[in-house]
Amino acid sequence: MRSASTHRQASPTILAVAALILVAGYGLACRRPKPRRDAAVDAGQAAKVLPPVDLVGVVQDSGGVPLPDALVIAWPKDKRAGSVVQARSNPEGRFVLARLRPGTWTLLAEAAGFGTLEIDRAVPYSESLVLTLEGEGRSLGGIVLRTPSSPEPGANVVLGGPSLRWSRETVAGPHGVFSFAGLGLGRFSIRAAHGRLVSATANQVIEEDTRHLPPVRLLLGSGAFVEGRVRDDTGRNLPGTTVDVLTMPSDDLPVTCQSDQEGKFFAGPMRPGRYQVVARLEGHVLLDAPELLLSAGSTVSAALRLARGALVSGRVLDQDGAPMGAVPVSVVGLVSGQDKVIVLPGALPTAAEAAELPAGSVARQGSIRTALSDAQGHFEVRGLAPGRSRLEVSAADKLPLRRDPLLLAPGDARDLGDLVVPTGVLLSGRVLDEDGQVLQGAQVEARPAGRQPRPPVRVTSDRQGQFSIRVPVGEYALAAQAKDHAPQVIPIVRAVGHPEPVEFRLAPRAAGADGGTAPPSREAPARRP
């Protein structure tokens, strides 16, 4: 009885305590912090909210000496948004990459004659960024003279050459002395001018073991000048055209000027000699580059003509009608049925710059222009010279597509529509000698067996004696030949679906037979593995 009575009296107390525990637990559960969001999501949303910022830094050599005229390229690390940004360091080595969106960026720094640096950095970056390139900067200096014993203060001195991306200029001091610092390895050209006077071009080479370079002496003499006017194919004056006067052969230091509002230009002074005059203007193509013979104190006139550049566009599709992205489409200018390549002045982009800059942003004038198709297969090739051209589409694991000729007029805009690139059929196999040893460098030819004449396709065997030829659907005669061996021919091979590999066994050439590699004239059996 007592125990039961005690139990009944204690029950309300126990229930009250239990209720308090439940309420407290519920309160704790309500106050439990929410799970943290993924850091990458937070950073991505922050990047959308934060405004673009500038990234400031300095480029220096291994010894901490600032490097002028270094190229700094930046692109988003994920490469899914944003664009490539580039900057050039000033004489103190400082650079500014403007308006970078917050996030992680890949930076690449280059200077002629120094090692290339590639790093990743988060933006915003709280400190001034220091980019150190491998190598030790050198200095190149000298004196400008009016006579062999009289210095010329105030002369303008220009430094150029294949080892510099951009030419550099300075002014000679009160005693005619000048200096260029922060130079890497390579070959350099240097010239001075003052008024109507100009020096000959001096050359210097800086190598790994170069220590002290003797001062350069630049002696001024009477110069020559070139004047003229730039017009387009309709006779309209072209202001803002860049005109380069080049020595023949080139000394890597063109004299450059800009045409005025009436298309007129005046360039000089230049040393007596033979020169070529070229012009550059966005959206235009040079029609002629006159050659001039300049004498001391003379002024020679030149008329320059630029044609309005043509445009070719279209869409690249595979044989199933699906668009093909990132496919190179090239237009090659033709002269009398032959490819024409024009070499014009200007530094070529480095491999890193060409790989990272958007398509077309580092293109140079000439008769071969290339563009990449976008994700929908669309492409535009701009700045094309008028006249006969050939279009080529080169896609990996596809047959090359060629359209020849294209007749382009100045300012023409030609839409070629859909260009279907066929896959074709891959013919493959091996070339062996009669003992079963591989034959490297054997020539294998696939000649169409149909009535319609088509040129044969030729390849050479690799180190394992293997070869592969991609051809359109059809029937072919396969032939193999190698030095000191008799040729073999498979008269009929059907290029349909996935044909089996073939195997050639070339016997030694008979004594006294011609040891050349002329096309085989007789057929011999070949094996299928």
Show the CA angle centred on residue 83, arms to residues 66 and 360, nearest 5°.
95
> Which positions ≥6 away from 515 have C-beta within 8 Å?
483, 484, 509
88 neighbors 71 (Cβ within 8 angstroms) = yes
Q: What is the pLDDT of residue 48?
A: 55
DSSP SS3 for 352: helix
Give every strand in the sheet of 242-247, ordered side by side: 255-258, 242-247, 273-280, 291-294
Amino acid at 72: V
DSSP SS3 for 510: coil
Q: What is the pLDDT of residue 150?
A: 95
Q: What is the pLDDT of residue 46?
A: 47
> Which positions ≥6 away from 244 have C-beta within 8 Å?
254, 255, 256, 277, 278, 279, 280, 344, 345
High-pLDDT (> 90) share of the chain, %: 59
What is the pLDDT averaged over residues 495-518?
78
pLDDT digits (tens, 9 = 90+) for 247-286: 998 888 999 999 999 999 999 999 999 999 999 999 999 9
Cα separation of 284 and 230, whole Å? 12
Higher confidence at residue 164 or residue 279? Answer: 279
Higher confidence at residue 154 or residue 126? Answer: 154
Residue with the two structure tokens 């308090």: 20
Q: What is the pLDDT of residue 473?
A: 87
Single out the residue of 485, 478, 484 nearest to residue 525, CA to CA. Answer: 478
From residue 53, give the alpha-carbon distance in Å to each of 92, 100, 192.
22, 5, 41
Cα separation of 447 and 474, whole Å? 10
Cα separation of 482 and 442, whole Å? 5
Amino acid at 346: G
Single out the residue of 242, 259, 398 nearest to residue 317, CA to CA. Answer: 398
Lookup: tokens for 137: 């900067």
Q: What is the pLDDT of residue 452?
A: 61
CATH topology of domain 425-506: Immunoglobulin-like (2.60.40)
237: which DSSP letter? B
What is the pLDDT averaged over residues 205-215?
85
Q: What is the pLDDT of residue 357?
A: 39
Amino acid at 282: E
Q: What is the pLDDT of residue 8?
A: 38
Provide Rg for the chain, Cα atoms. 35
Cα separation of 456 and 477, whole Å? 9
Q: Judge whether residue 184 has pLDDT over 80.
A: yes
pLDDT band at residue 513 using 50, 70 and 90 as cut-offs: low
Cα separation of 211 and 436, whole Å? 59
Q: What is the pLDDT of residue 213?
A: 82
Q: What is the pLDDT of residue 39?
A: 47
- For the ranges 208-217, 296-305, 352-361, 402-411, the lowest mean pLDDT is seen at 352-361
Cα separation of 204 and 350, whole Å? 22
Q: What is the pLDDT of residue 62?
A: 92
Domain ranges (residues) in the chain: 47-132, 138-222, 224-308, 310-337+365-421, 425-506
Cα separation of 151 and 172, whole Å? 9
Task: Phi first, then psi: give them for residue 40, nearest 5 degrees.
Answer: -65, -40
Cα separation of 274 and 249, whole Å? 8
Q: Judge whether residue 30 has pLDDT over 50.
A: no
Ramachandran category for residue 80: left, alpha or beta (phi over 0 → left; psi -120 to 50 → alpha): alpha
Q: Judge whether residue 140 has pLDDT over 80.
A: yes
508: which DSSP letter? B
Bond into 102 cis (ω within 30) = no
pLDDT digits (tens, 9 = 90+) for 36-45: 555 444 545 5
pLDDT digits (tens, 9 = 90+) for 375-401: 999 999 998 988 899 999 988 888 889
Average pLDDT over the chain reads 83
Cα separation of 526 and 488, whole Å? 7
Cα separation of 236 and 230, whole Å? 8
Q: What is the pLDDT of residue 288?
A: 86
- 302, with CB counted inside 10 A (0-12, 13-18, 19+), is buried
What is the pLDDT averaged over residues 26-35?
44
Determine the length of the chain.
529
Classify domain 138-222 at the CATH class level.
mainly beta
396: which DSSP letter? T
What is the pLDDT averaged over residues 137-165?
93
DSSP SS3 for 2: helix
Q: What is the pLDDT of residue 47?
A: 46
Q: Judge whether residue 355 has pLDDT over 80.
A: no
**pTM (predicted TM-score):** 0.65
Q: What is the pLDDT of residue 359?
A: 36
Strands (E) located in 356-455: 368-372, 378-384, 387-393, 401-408, 413-421, 425-433, 443-448
CATH superfamily of 310-337+365-421: Immunoglobulins (2.60.40.10)
pLDDT band at residue 511 using 50, 70 and 90 as cut-offs: low
pLDDT band at residue 456 using 50, 70 and 90 as cut-offs: confident
Classify domain 47-132 at the CATH class level.
mainly beta
Cα separation of 316 and 327, whole Å? 8
> Which positions ≥6 away from 9 have C-beta within 8 Å?
none
Report the sign of the C-alpha dihedral through residues 483, 488, 492, 494, in that order: negative
What is the pLDDT averaged over residues 193-206?
95
Classify domain 224-308 at the CATH class level.
mainly beta
pLDDT digits (tens, 9 = 90+) for 7-24: 334 444 433 434 433 434
Q: Judge whether residue 446 has pLDDT over 80.
A: yes
Q: What is the pLDDT of residue 404?
A: 76
pLDDT band at residue 82 using 50, 70 and 90 as cut-offs: low
Cα separation of 348 and 345, whole Å? 9
Please determine whether the domains at 47-132 and 310-337+365-421 fall in the same fold group of CATH: yes
66: which DSSP letter? B
Task: Phi first, then psi: give them for residue 79, nearest 5 degrees.
Answer: 55, 25
pLDDT band at residue 350 using 50, 70 and 90 as cut-offs: very low
3-state SS track over 180-219? EEEECCEEEEEEEEECCEEECCEEEEECCCCCCCCCEEEE
Cα separation of 378 and 465, whole Å? 39
